[in-house]
Amino acid sequence: MAGTQQLAGQGCGPRLSILMVSDFFYPNFGGVENHIYQLSQCLINQGHKVVVMTHAYGDCGGVRYLTNGLKVYYLYRRPIHAQSTMPTLWLGAFRLLRLICIRENISLVHCHQAFSTLGGEALVQARTMGYKVLFTDHSLFGFADAASIATNKLIKAVLADVQHAICVSHTSKENTVLRASLHPAAVSVIPNAVDASEFEPHPNQPCYRPGSPITIVALNPRHCLLLLLLLLLLLPAAVDASEFEPYPNQPCYRPGSPITIVALNPRHCLLLLLLLLLLLPAAVDATVDASEFEPYPNQPCYRPGSPITIVALNPRHCLLLLLLLLLLLPAAVDASEFEPYPNQPRYIQGSPITIIALNLCHCLLLLLLLLLLLLLLLLLLLPAAVDASEFEPYPNQPRYTLGSPITIIALSRLVYRKGIDILALVIPEICHRHPHVNFIIGGDGPKRGLLEQMINQEGLAGRVALAGAIPHERAREFLLQGHIFVNASLTEAFCMAIVEAASAGLLVVSTRVGGVPEVLPPDVMLLAEPSPEDLLAAVEQALLLLPELDPQQQHAR
């Protein structure tokens, strides 16, 4: 953190023993992990004792020691998604937490990130044992979708007895206060910061000159799928019309002649097949001999209450009728068999609620709904995590010199909420409009495949490079390869990456979401709405402003 070195060794009150708890810590790489590590180091420099409790990462288990004697307990708990562990209903880790607190003489428990199951359980358990607890929120949540509602209910219960909460921006504070029903006075805003000395630009770096190539860097990969779908569905293909000339004497179509429909690619073929199955009626001989379909001579008319028989003429109709019967028709029951108790009281708010499954089908349906809700919560809200050791960055590539291409950098997790789908739409357009612009994208995640597909389809293998996950100690080296930094996040409480990029002398382009507008001044960062059109316009504006950028002056600020 910026400025913390000046306070190192100075007294700031009584010596504390602090326990940091989160599912996200080294060797996993990310903003929360780096925040916990840097905060712990600063507190140790101030004379406090800091211990970290997290879950094991592969072979990294048990008790380990990091820089300055930072002690880390790696508990053997199994992650279920993106390094977040399986809930234990506040019972599984209680004994271990109590032993650690007693052994280390803990006086304060500090938990990080609402996604962390281990941190949420530690908050409740620590208050049960009478410890003071503190919570830091690093993310923003919605209010309307089912996953956000479930998460907000849970965080409200977990933070009901917390002494204080910390958010990284004023937008994040408003979000946390509303979600957890906390008093605003109980929530502080402490923005993240970086040590500017670690992100110095090259001493003799020249200013950008018009006509030189530009490289755009993408930080993460979540919007890749959306960008790829838009490219596939909306952008026309470039063809040479001379290669598709009709036959010289090709006759015009005559009514009654056969018609042939040609699908140019598998996507068109699949679309045509779906249209044929869903929209076109079955082909039958329209000429029917009515004598073959005479009713019975003495067939009576239908009387109400008699059974009804529905006939399906083909398998498609049969499947449709079966689905309608399963989904729409209610079950017939005798209401007299299900009378309530004569003096059964009405439900009182706050009383327990019991849900009864009348048969095995209902029971399985309820179980499936619970599992789907949990899966949706994990997929939509939990951040992606990667093993940084598997993705080595590029070697020390020299920084931009006069006449060389312009490089645009992006560095983040390649997940949906980081705007990778938007980035995958913007990158091809920038490359086609500006041949001197290249991209280097750092990070890894589920959207990496979308970026790879975009590169192959657009023929940008020599223009767009995927560097993999970048460890934080090599972040400066990676950023110094570029001139412009792009952040396309859909939601962001603070975004440390744009601060590091600005400190390294890069011109920052970011989406206007969450607490991002609070992070940097407008002359250092260009803001755009989270859409491909606005982000494209902001990047092109950055290309025009790049000649005026003085990296050394920007770093000095």
Dig out the tokens for 416 from the structure: 């949906």
State pLDDT tens for residues 339-363.
777 777 776 766 676 666 666 656 6
Domains in the chain (CATH in brackets) are 17-193 (3.40.50.2000), 406-556 (3.40.50.2000)
Cβ partners under 8 Å of residue 324, min gap 6 = none
Q: Band the pLDDT of 37: cuts 50, 70, 90.
A: very high
Report residue 236's pLDDT band, with 50, 70 and 90 as the boundaries. Answer: low
CA distance 388 to 288: 71
Cβ pair 50, 36 in contact under 8 A: no
For 93-118, the pLDDT digits (tens) are: 788 888 999 999 999 999 998 888 88
Q: Which residues contact 303 (CB under 8 A, 6 or more apart)?
A: none
pLDDT band at 421 (very low <50, low <70, confident <90, very high): very high
Percentage, residues of the chain above pLDDT 90? 27
Residue 41: the pLDDT is 92
Residue 308 burial class via C-beta count within 10 angstroms: exposed 0-12, middle 13-18, buried 19 and up: exposed
pLDDT higher than threshold 70 for residue 269: no
CA-to-CA dists, residue 200 to 295, 339, 548, angstroms: 92, 77, 18
What long-range pairs does 267-273 form, CB within 8 A, spacing at least 24?
A: 267/232
Report the pLDDT value the prediction gives residue 89, as an integer from 0 to 100.
64
